[in-house]
Homo-oligomer: A and B are copies of this chain.
Amino acid sequence: MSEAAGGIEIGLNAAIVAMVDEEPAVLTVGRDAGVDLADALPFGPFDPVRHRTLELGLRAWVEAQTALRLGHVEQLYTFGDRGRHARADDADPHVVSVGYLALTRLVDGAEGPTGRALAATGGGFRPWYDYFPWEDWRRGRPAILDEAILPAMRAWRAEDPEHRGLGRALGRAERLRLHFGEDGAPWDEEKVLERYETLYEAGLIAEASRDGRVCARAAAAPLGRAMRFDHRRILATAISRLRAKLKYRPVVFELMGESFTLTELQKTVEAISGRHLHKQNFRRLVENAALVEATGETSLVTGGRPASLYRFRREVLAERPAPGLRLGSRG
């Protein structure tokens, strides 16, 4: 019980999310080291001598490197996987990495903190649906599902060795039903991680080849943009969490400006949850959740009738135990 396993490093990985033109986007760093062609999430080592907590450590290096002001910051998961994190060779020091989700607001287009952020990291904000095109149902069912994913997944299901989950794990058919909505089952937008992991196992994700899997299909027509190490998995975790949290915590407002129209708010929620919402119901929802209040001003940039501007009512935090946008199945 006293054998210490020394030589471990703690890495902090952050999925830093902001809205860029109605699109949820994530900060990626450039391929500065030239090690790999894929995008990576910003990464920083945790130094327990300088920082009292993991979150403070994260905030410190993010703010130092990117000049972004982080709003909501949330720990996602700690990964200790060998073979996923590091490349196959075992010589490098072991890195246990703690994944974080952070929300921020971009002040301006190209100037301001944001511009400097991009310059400093050599990367930039990129729409998260570039990495997960099958998660964007805002304009209906994504074509990639029926054209590429489901045919391949049905083949994978057919070659199922035992047609049933062993022990408590789900079998392939069940996972296809529950996570991908096969056989008329509903699509659950929160199951982003489950879908990613199932695709990974089925060998449809380019990253899986590093894990010693055959990726014939992945090589032929890659599903979404790849990322370094297991960063795409961290991003999938981040999206899952954000989509879930939206419903019981007012996190959207961390991504919005000071004032906004109800349509802008709806577009943001739609962008995050990846689905279309009914205008009328969404408005009533916001209304009787008392999440916002009118500023009295109107916005004329909409193209039609001017829209009232609203601001977030901070008071709800003190009023309601779980303030959020409890979108039903239709919103």
Whether A7 and B6, one on each chain, are in contact in the complex, defined by CB atoms closer than 8 angstroms, is yes
**Which of B3, B4, B80 is A93 in contact with, Cβ under 8 Å?**
B4
The minimal Cβ–Cβ distance linking A66 to chain B, given in whole angstroms, is 12
- Interface contact B93-A321, CB-CB below 8 Å: no
Segment touching B, from A49-57, A141-149, A299-307: A49-57
Enumerate A41-96 residues with CB–CB distance to B below 8 Å.
Answer: 43-49, 51-54, 57, 61, 65, 75, 77-83, 93-94, 96
Instruction: Give A8 to B51 CA distance when docked, in angstroms.
Output: 13
Considering the complex, which residues of chain A in the window 248-263 have a beta carbon less than 8 Å from any beta carbon of chain B?
A: none
Interface residues of A in 81-115 (CB under 8 A from B): 81-83, 93-94, 96, 98
Minimum Cβ distance to chain B for residue A283 (Å): 26
CB-CB under 8 A from A52, the residues of chain B are: 81-83
Chain B residues with Cβ below 8 Å from A83 are 52
Does A185 have its Cβ within 8 Å of any Cβ on chain B? yes
For A79, A80, A178, which residue has the most chain B Cβ atoms within 10 angstroms?
A80
**Is B48's CB under 8 angstroms from A82's CB?**
yes
Instruction: Kindly state the interface size class of chain A when it binds its partner.
Output: 35 or more
CB-CB nearest in chain B for A93? B4
Give the residues in chain B near A96, CB-CB below 8 Å: 10, 46, 48, 54, 96
Asked whether A170 is an interface residue with its Cβ less than 8 Å from the other chain, the reply is yes
Tell me if A154 is interfacial: C-beta within 8 Å of chain B. Answer: no
Q: Cβ of B188 and Cβ of A49 under 8 Å apart?
A: no
Residue numbers in B under 8 Å from A82 (CB-CB): 48, 52-53
CB pair B98 A48 closer than 8 Å: no
Please state if B1 and A9 are interface contacts (CB–CB under 8 Å): no
Contact A5 B49 (CB under 8 A): yes
A220 lies within 8 A of chain B by Cβ:
no
The reply to whether A57 and B45 contact each other, CB–CB distance below 8 Å, is no
Q: Which residues of B contact A186 (CB under 8 A)?
A: 321
Instruction: Verify if A318 is at the interface (C-beta below 8 Å from B).
Output: yes
Is A174 among interface residues, defined by CB-CB distance under 8 A? yes
Chain B residues positioned under 8 Å from A318 (CB to CB): 170-171, 173-174, 177-178
B48 and A8 form a contact (CB under 8 A): yes
Cβ contacts under 8 Å, A45 to chain B: 1, 3-5
Q: How far is B3's CA from A9's CA once the two chains are assembled, in angstroms?
A: 11
Could you say which residues of chain B place their CB within 8 Å of the CB of A1? 43-45, 61, 65
**A150 near B: Cβ within 8 Å?**
no
Residues of chain B contacted by A3 (CB below 8 angstroms): 45, 47
Cα distance A191–B178 in the bound complex, in angstroms = 30
Chain B residue numbers with a CB within 8 Å of A214 are: none
Q: Which residues of B contact A48 (CB under 8 A)?
A: 5, 8, 80, 82, 94, 96
Interface: A216 (CB within 8 A)? no
Residue among B7, B43, B170, B191 making CB contact with A317, cutoff 8 Å: B170
Most chain-B Cβ atoms within 10 A of its Cβ — which of A61, A82, A173?
Answer: A82
Residues of A at the B interface (CB closer than 8 Å) are: 1, 3-10, 43-49, 51-54, 57, 61, 65, 75, 77-83, 93-94, 96, 98, 168, 170-171, 173-174, 177-178, 185-186, 188, 191, 314, 317-318, 321-322
